Amino acid sequence: MNQEWKSHNINSLQNYYQGSIVSDYEARRATQASWHKEARVLDSFLEQLDLAPGTRVLDVPIGTGRFLETFMRRRFHVIGRDISADMVAVSRQRATALGQADADIALGDGTNIDLADNGVALVVSVRFLVHLELSIIDLILAELARVSSGHVIAHVRLEAPGRLNAMRRALDRTLRKLRRVSVKKVSNKAATVHRHEDVHALFKKHGLQVLRDEICNRTKKGHDSHLYLLQCT
């Protein structure tokens, strides 16, 4: 199995998080500034929302449950879903260690969430859409908006503004086209980097109004990862 995640295809994403990829998951990311920034930004969004104890919050994909402590400090009713059995096991263990053995953490698919319409007040989705292409983001945003009655926190990767970045992207696109001709399996991070207007059009399509937009990571290649606080309208 690859150590480095490189594909934008949801089927590969679903199968990737197993065994040592899961057990090493946090240690491999603990030195990333963005890992810590995401946690701080999430915390500031929650501060702004000021949701009452007992509020139903869905974290999808919950992964290792990195935000469980933050949620539990606010005494939210936490629901976690993830397609990976190994990730579910780790986040359940974490919930138990935090004294919440009865937390509703289970296998689940972000493209088809097993919750009723408006079943939660907030959906948190970090490091999920950043790995995917626009057509899949469209499907998943529809699901996140469907199950939330209030807000969605979503993480996407956008093209950074600026002329140099525009030139880089044009080059990227040309290379991608060339690669498509020469190799069958395209492993391609550029396909997960989207235009601001395309992503905002999807927010609008799914009735999600932008309340806040924070950049958590900016790469030299001109890729910005944004955490959005969105209101369901």
Ligand X SMILES: C[S@@+](CC[C@H](N)C(=O)[O-])C[C@H]1O[C@@H](n2cnc3c(N)ncnc32)[C@H](O)[C@@H]1O
How far, CA to CA in Å, does 146 sit from each of 73, 128, 213?
Answer: 26, 17, 21
The smaller minimum CB distance to ligand X, of residues 61 and 222, is found at: 61
Over the window 126 to 165, marking each residue x when it contacts ligand X by CB under 6 A and - when it does not, the resulting string is xxx-------------------------------------
Interaction of residue 92 with ligand X, rule CB under 6 A: no
Interaction of residue 80 with ligand X, rule CB under 6 A: no
Phi and psi of 129, rounded to 5°?
A: -65, -25
- Residues 93-132 contacting ligand X, CB under 6 A: 109-111, 126-128
> Can you spell out the DSSP letters for 119-154?
-EEEEEE-SSGGGS-HHHHHHHHHHHHHHEEEEEEE
Nearest-approach distance from CB 65 to ligand X, in angstroms: 8
Over the window 1 to 30, marking each residue x when it contacts ligand X by CB under 6 A and - when it does not, the resulting string is ---------x--xx--x-------------
* Helix, strand or coil, per DSSP, at residue 193: coil
* Helix, strand or coil, per DSSP, at residue 206: coil
The smaller minimum CB distance to ligand X, of residues 41 and 60, is found at: 60
Structure tokens at 155: 């993480």
Structure tokens at 125: 């989705």
Binding site for ligand X (CB under 6 A): 10, 13-14, 17, 60-61, 63, 66, 81-84, 87, 109-111, 126-128
